A and B are shown apart, each in its own frame.
Chain A
Amino acid sequence: MAWMRSSAVLTVLVIVIIGGLMQLAVSAAWVSELVIPKPLAILAALAGMLLERSTWDYFFITLSSTLAANFVAVGGGLTIGFCLHFRPTWSKATVPMFAAAFAAPMILLYPIFLVLFGRTQSTIIIMGALTGLIPVVLNTVVALDGVPRYFHAVARSYGCTRWQHMIHVIFPAAASGIFVGIRLGLIYSLVNIIGIEFLINFGGLGYLVSHMYDLFEITKMYAAILLVITVSALFYSVLNWAQRRVNQVSVG
C-alpha cells in the first residue's frame, strides 16, 4: 500500500492507535479518569483553552521570554564565536571551558538565579539565554575554523578586502555550521524556559501545567502538556526547515 509508505500517515496512525487504546482503557475503567482522562476529553479541553484569552497570554509570555533569551544567546554567541575565531590562543583556552559548560547540567543552578534575580521573568530569560549561548559559541567557532584554507587563498588571489572576504567567503562557507549552533541554542533556550516556568510556578506555558496540577484540573493539565508538546514540536520543525534552507544556500 503506497499510502503506508508516507511517514506522516504512519505517524498519525500511531498517534490514533495510542489515543484509541487510552480512550478504551479509560472508558472500560481499567484506568481511573482522575489519573488519565479520556484523550477526546483532553482534546476538547485543549480546544476550550485555546478559546480563552489567558492561554494565549501564557503562550505569549513564553514566546517573549524565548525571543528575548534567543536575542541574547544568538547575538552574544555569534559575537563571542567570531572574536574567538580571530584569536586562536583565546579559542584554544576557552573552547574546552565552553564545552564543559555545555555538558554541565546548567538548569540545576536555577535556584542561584532565583536568589539573584527573584521569581521574575528576568530569571527565566537569563537562564534561557545562558543555556542557549553556549552551543552558538561552540558551533560558530567550529564552523569558522572549518572553512577550507583554499577558500581563503582564492579570496586573497581575487584581492578581496577583509569585509568582502567575510561576507562573500567566510560567512557563506560557515553558515550551515553556524546555524546548527543557533538551532541547538534556540531549542535549549525554549526547553529550559518552559522547564523553569514549571519549576518556579511563574510565567507562561510551563506555569500553566503546574497551575492546572495545583488546581487538580487534571484534564486541563493534560491539555496544557499537549500544548507544550505541540509548541515545542512546531518550533523544532520550523528550525529544521530553516536549517535545510540554510544548508541549500551554504557553500561550505
Chain B
Amino acid sequence: MMGIVQIRLAIVLVMVGIWELIAWSGWLYQEVFPSGLIVLTSVGQLVVDGAFYQHLMVTLVEILVGLLIAIVLGVSTGLLLGVSEQLYRGMDPILVALATIPKIVFFPVIMLLVGIGTESKIAMGALSAYFPIALSSAASVRSVPQVLIDVGRALKLSRWQMARTIYVPAVLPELLTGVRLGLGVCVIGVLLAEIKMSNQGLGFMAIEYYNLFDIPSLYAALLVIFLIAIAINAVIDHLLRVATAHRED
C-alpha cells in the first residue's frame, strides 16, 4: 500500500518521466519538447540575468499600483452598495455579470483610454481586481450583524468609535478575502496585458522568447512567472492569516 507522500512522489516522477521520454525519444521536435535539464539550465541563466530583475520590478510595480487602485475603488463601491439597499439590488447583478467575463477583452478599451504604456497594465490589473474587492466589500458591509450596531448605539458610541470598534472589525475578514482574490486576478491581468502589448515586464519577456522561438527560455520564463504568481498568493495568504488570527468568530 502506498502512502500519501509516495503517491505524490510517484505522480511527479511519472510526469517528469513522460516528459523526458518524449524529449529524448525524438518523437516530437526537440526544440518544442526540450529536456528538463535544458529548461533548468535556462532557468539558471534567467535568474542570473540583470534584465530579468528589471522586468520583474516593472511587473511588481504594475501589480502593486493596480491592486491599490482596485482597493480604493472597490472598497468605495462596496461601501456605497453596502449602505444603500436599492443601489445594491440595481448594481449587484451588473457587477456579478461583469465579474464573470474575461477582463482581458477590455484591454483594447483600456489602451484607447490610457495608451499602451505601463498605465494600461496598471489599469488592466486594477480592473481585474476591482470586481472581487467591490463584491466582497459590499457583502461584508451588508453582513454586519444588526445586534453589534444596536450595542454600539446603546453605548452611545460616536461615529468614529462605531467605525473603529464595530464596522471595521466586522467587515475586515471578508474584505481581506476579497483583496486576496483580487490580488490573484490582478497578477493574471497585468501579465496577460504585458503578453498582449508591452515592451517590458515578465509577460513581455516570456512572449518575446516565443517570438524568437527560444522555447527552453520560454518554458523557463513561464516556470519562474508561475512560481512568482504562486509565491505572491502564498505570502498574501500567510499575511492575511496572521492579520486575522486574533479575531474570534
Interface, chain A (partner B; CB < 8 A): 4, 7-8, 10-11, 13-15, 34-36, 89-90, 92-94, 97, 100, 103-105, 107-109, 111-112, 114-116, 187, 191-192, 194-195, 198-199, 206, 209-210, 212-213, 218, 221-222, 225, 228-229, 232-233, 236
Contact = CB atoms under 8 A, between A and B. Distances in A.
Contacts of A233: 97, 100-101
A105 B109 contact: no
Given A89-B3, A93-B8, A105 B104 contact: no
B219 interface: yes
Given A89-B1, A232-B97, A35 B112 contact: yes
A210 B108 contact: yes
Nearest to B7: A93
B94 A103 contact: no
A232 B90 CA distance: 19
B29 to A, nearest CB: 10
Interface string B157-201: 000000000000000000000000000100110011001100000
B195 A232 contact: no
Q: Which 4 A-B pairs have the closest CB atoms?
A: A10-B90, A195-B102, A93-B7, A213-B108
A143 to B, nearest CB: 22
B94 A15 contact: yes
Contacts of A100: 230
Contact of B94 (A14, A34, A209): A14
Contacts, number: 134
A195 to B, nearest CB: 4
Contact of B4 (A92, A103, A213): A92
B35 interface: no
Contacts of A187: 100
26 contacts: A4-B86, A7-B90, A15-B94, A36-B113, A89-B1, A93-B8, A94-B11, A97-B11, A103-B233, A108-B226, A111-B218, A112-B222, A114-B210, A115-B32, A115-B218, A116-B33, A191-B101, A195-B105, A198-B102, A198-B104, A198-B105, A199-B192, A213-B111, A218-B112, A233-B101, A236-B97
Contacts of A112: 218-219, 222
Contacts of A34: 112
Contacts of B104: 195, 198-199
Contacts of A97: 8, 11
Interface string B206-249: 11001000010011001001100110010000000000000000
Contacts of B111: 213
Contacts of A236: 96-97, 100
Given A7-B90, A93-B8, A209 B184 contact: no
A232 B100 contact: yes
A104 to B, nearest CB: 6
Contacts of A225: 105-106, 108-109
A11 B222 contact: no
Given A7-B89, A89-B4, A213-B108, A111 B222 contact: yes
A241 to B, nearest CB: 14
A236 B215 CA distance: 37
* Centre residue among A10, A103, A104, A229 by max chain B CB count within 10 A: A10
Contacts of A218: 112
B154 interface: no
Given A14-B94, A206-B102, A232-B100, 16 more contacts: A10-B89, A10-B90, A11-B90, A11-B93, A11-B94, A89-B2, A94-B11, A107-B188, A108-B222, A115-B218, A195-B192, A221-B108, A225-B106, A232-B102, A233-B97, A236-B100
